[in-house]
Amino acid sequence: MHAKPTLRLKLVKLTLGLMLVLLALTGCFIVAVSQSLPSRTDSLVKHNDLLQRAVEAIQAQTETDERLAAPTAGDPTMEIDGLIISETLTKIGVDFYELFYQRWVAPPAASGYEVRIEELPAPGFGTLVVVKVNETTVFQRVLQPRYDQLEASAELAVALTQRHVNDQQRLTQQLYEEDQQGTGIY
């Protein structure tokens, strides 16, 4: 997952853009004034140099902030891992979510995932419950308003979801192992 730029980084970029516009306008003003008033040219050039140094300092700070804002594994400021989100609408869906949540144990060392429980009511048939991990459907079933069926379905959904999260974590680790990384030479 890619992290979005922080608010501070956006503000710095906006400030940098405004400073560049101001610098361009100041440069045009200096050219116009220097042609009409040669005695004031030296002080205006000094102010332009100060403004140029300020813009360069802001650019350097922006580059530093961008490097620091690069996503890192396990950094809690970048994203919230392991959320279980309920998008249920009926009592059957809410009961399923509660049973799922009671049985859920996050796999150790797993990160970068969210579990979403969605419900689509199907009048006359019960309700369709869908469990997704990062937009990938891992469980889908039509449920009737019977508590024993809800318990069995929740246990199955938890097992399938944990297996999917573990498989994704294992795959991610394998992709970044030393033997999978090339030298860049063909």
- % of the chain beyond a pLDDT of 90: 23
Residue 1 counted as domain residue: no
Do 23 and 99 share a domain, yes or no?
no
Do 36 and 118 share a domain, yes or no?
no
Q: Which residues contact 2 (CB under 8 A, 6 or more apart)?
A: 71
CB distance 23 to 15 below 8 Å:
no
Residue 109 counted as domain residue: yes
> What is the pLDDT, as a whole number, of residue 129?
93
Do 101 and 160 share a domain, yes or no?
yes
Q: What is the pLDDT of residues 131-171, one digit of tens each?
A: 999 889 999 999 888 889 999 999 999 999 999 998 888 88
125 vs 64: CA distance, rounded Å: 57
Residue 157 counted as domain residue: yes
Does residue 110 have a pLDDT over 80?
no
Q: How many domains does the chain divide into? A: 2
Residue 186 counted as domain residue: no
Do 19 and 87 share a domain, yes or no?
no
> What is the pLDDT, as a whole number, of residue 22?
72
Residue 95 counted as domain residue: yes
pTM of the model: 0.55
Does residue 74 have a pLDDT over 60?
no
> What is the pLDDT, as a whole number, of residue 2?
44
Residue 115 counted as domain residue: yes
Give long-range contacts, CB 8 A cutoff, 24+ apart: 42-51. Answer: 48/23, 51/19, 51/22, 51/23, 51/26
Give long-range contacts, CB 8 A cutoff, 24+ apart: 167-171. Answer: 168/110, 168/113, 168/133, 168/134, 169/107, 169/109, 169/110, 169/111
Do 53 and 106 share a domain, yes or no?
no
**Domain residues for 15?**
7-68
> What is the pLDDT, as a whole number, of residue 30?
62
Q: What is the mean pLDDT of residues 65-88?
A: 66
Residue 145: helix, strand or coil by DSSP?
coil
Do 130 and 94 share a domain, yes or no?
yes
Q: What are phi and psi of 175, to 5 degrees?
A: -65, -25
Do 15 and 42 share a domain, yes or no?
yes
Q: What is the pLDDT of residues 3-62, one digit of tens each?
A: 445 666 666 677 777 776 776 667 666 655 555 555 555 666 666 777 778 778 777 777
Residue 2 counted as domain residue: no
Enter the DSSP assignment of 3.
P
Do 59 and 91 share a domain, yes or no?
no
Residue 122 counted as domain residue: yes
Do 60 and 88 share a domain, yes or no?
no
CB distance 106 to 82 below 8 Å:
yes
Q: What is the pLDDT of residues 59-73, one digit of tens each?
A: 777 777 666 655 555
Do 62 and 143 share a domain, yes or no?
no
Pairing of strands 114-122, 126-133: antiparallel
Residue ranges of E strands in the chain: 83-87, 114-122, 126-133, 136-143
Do 63 and 96 share a domain, yes or no?
no
Do 39 and 116 share a domain, yes or no?
no
> What is the pLDDT, as a whole number, of residue 50?
74
